[in-house]
Amino acid sequence: MFLIVGNGMVGLAIAAGLSRSIPGERIQVVGPAARPYSASMAAAAMLNSFAELEPGALDQPRDRLKFELSQASARLWQGFVEEFEIPAEHYRLGTVLVNNNASNRFEDAAFDAIAGYLDEFTEPYERVDPQVEPAYVPDASYRTRQALFLPREGVLNPDGVIHALQATLQKRGVRFVDGVVKSMNKAGDSTAGVTLEDGQVLSAERIVLANGSMATRLWDEPGCIRVINSVGATVVLKNAGIKGRYVLRTPNRGGACGIYHAPYQDDLFVVGATNLVTTADEQFPRAESVAALINGAINQVNHLHRTSGFIRYNFGYRPLSMDGYPVIGQLNDNTFITSGTRRDGYHFAPWLADNLAALLLGQTVSAAAREYFDFARPQRSAWLDQSVEACCRKYAAVKCSALSQHGYDAGHTDANQALEQYYYQRAKAFFDKHELEQAVQVDFVDALLAGFLSPSDFA
Ligand SMILES: Cc1cc2nc3c(=O)[nH]c(=O)nc-3n(C[C@H](O)[C@H](O)[C@H](O)COP(=O)(O)OP(=O)(O)OC[C@H]3O[C@@H](n4cnc5c(N)ncnc54)[C@H](O)[C@@H]3O)c2cc1C
């Protein structure tokens, strides 16, 4: 019996991969049916590789490898949708990437970097008038003519994908257990099974921890990199007067993915996404986050959204490791982990289905997958290869980008430069005080400054 702990996109992808070669009856997935706070129910979910890039994003060989595998995964989605009977309307290709003036030069640099990477990898794209997306009618002060059309990047409807995939797996005999694992029943160098909160015990020959940001809470062994929450929200708006065709998004900015707007189904649109790195289990999205998404939709995408119905927010915890890279590999003789997918667990799902199934079944994987599994291994400290100087500069730029994105206006003063210097100094003082020579990823700096994390968490 193969037991998958966690019923989000990653757990289901692993079950899907296994179901190709072993009878469904030998696969069990355990997780709460409502999937509270799961990343998978909060995502949009975009299928972006290029549109997520920033200057220098592929400088490290491991970033380049991950990027190439993300490209491979993107090419697998069409077949995955067909094989697992996911209705075609839940998978939509075509992204319009706009460079608007809602933030600062950090966004322009990211837009130019994406164009450069598209050329470097000879990815098909076109420079277009952003009005190619019929839903694009921004407020006059936010308009732009600068846009790229990426025909091979798109979006999934996460609810639609999760529910259709689960239904297909159930048809194949996979058993879904509605419950929460309280503890792992370790026996020497292996794990005999798990005990659920209701006292039920499930035994298995092979177990995979795929419970997202909660992974470390079930497996907190010395030497394993920790996984925490990168809390995020999206909102769903309803407007029969807006016709959507493609995803419309900005480059990353302000410590998150900018603003994106995707047709969901019928007259519903999903707008994302916010990002807060924390060790706390926040219960609700912050009002400022929801306000920023709604304002972004009205100002930067379509002013008619001011009359849209606010249907709901989606809110969940992205699984984030202490260096931002995935956590994939073997924990003991028969226990494995797949977590830390952070912002691209959907994007990577078909690749994970193929390669995690192979890993669990002891089959050979490609040299690229072996290399990826090597750097994503759970037994590691955080990969820290950014200089303190580069981290402080980027932190300052990201903070100023966030300020400008949220409407800060320096007026006719030099406050922009003063603020950038202030943020630079704030981060630098922290690294100096702790005598750190290598910096963490920028996303973690606020959590360090706020005391949620300490430098020892990265060692
Ligand atoms: C706002 C937001 C936007 C995002 N946008 C994108 C995007 O555009 N594209 C993209 O590819 N990705 C996106 N992501 C990231 C993506 O959602 C994640 O990478 C992916 O969903 C992670 O899947 P998972 O199965 O590992 O974790 P989760 O989806 O969190 O699922 C884990 C499951 O395990 C269950 N669980 C937890 N503890 C236990 C336990 N003890 N016992 C049993 N079950 C347990 C949980 O209830 C949950 O159902 C986004 C995430 C967020 C939050």
pLDDT tier, 265 (very low <50, low <70, confident <90, very high otherwise) = confident
Say how far apart CA 206 and CA 110 lie, in whole Å: 43
Domains in the chain: boundaries: 2-41+160-225+323-375, 85-157+228-321, 386-458
Interval 132-181: pLDDT, tens? 999 999 999 999 999 999 999 999 999 999 999 999 999 999 999 999 99
Q: What is the mean pLDDT of residues 263-268?
A: 90
Q: What is the pLDDT of residue 379?
A: 97
Interval 226-235: pLDDT, tens? 999 999 999 9
Q: Which residues line ligand 1 (CB under 6 A)?
A: 5-11, 30-32, 35-36, 38-40, 42-46, 180-181, 210-214, 218, 232-234, 272-273, 316, 318-319, 339, 341-347
Q: What is the mean pLDDT of residues 353-374?
A: 97
Q: In sequence order, what are the residues at sequence separation of 6 or more whose Cβ sits closer than 8 angstroms to the Cβ of residue 171?
A: none
Interval 306-324: pLDDT, tens? 999 999 999 999 999 999 9
Q: What is the pLDDT of residue 364?
A: 96
How far, in Å, is the centroid of ligand 1 from the Cα of 124? 30
Domain 85-157+228-321 has CATH 3.30.9.10: yes
* E runs forming strands in 105-239: 126-128, 147-156, 175-178, 181-187, 190-196, 201-203, 206-209, 227-238
Percent of all residues in the chain with a pLDDT value above 70, rounded to a whole number: 100
**Pocket-testing residue among 97, 181, 211, 218, ligand 1, by greatest number of atoms within 8 A of Cβ:** 211
**Pocket-testing residue among 4, 10, 150, ligand 1, by greatest number of atoms within 8 A of Cβ:** 10
**Pocket-testing residue among 5, 318, 352, ligand 1, by greatest number of atoms within 8 A of Cβ:** 318
Interval 408-433: pLDDT, tens? 888 999 999 999 999 999 999 999 99
DSSP letter (8 states) at residue 407: T
Letter string b/e over residues 26-46, b meaning 16 or more CB atoms within 10 A of that residue's CB? bbbbbbeeebebbbbbbbbbb
Fold annotation for 2-41+160-225+323-375: FAD/NAD(P)-binding domain (3.50.50)
Q: What is the pLDDT of residue 370?
A: 97
Are 305 and 294 within 8 A, CB to CB?
A: yes
Interval 181-193: pLDDT, tens? 999 999 999 999 9
CA 89 remoteness from chain centre = 22
pTM for the model stands at 0.96
Average pLDDT, the chain: 95
Instruction: Give yes or no on whether 2-41+160-225+323-375 and 85-157+228-321 have one common fold.
Output: no
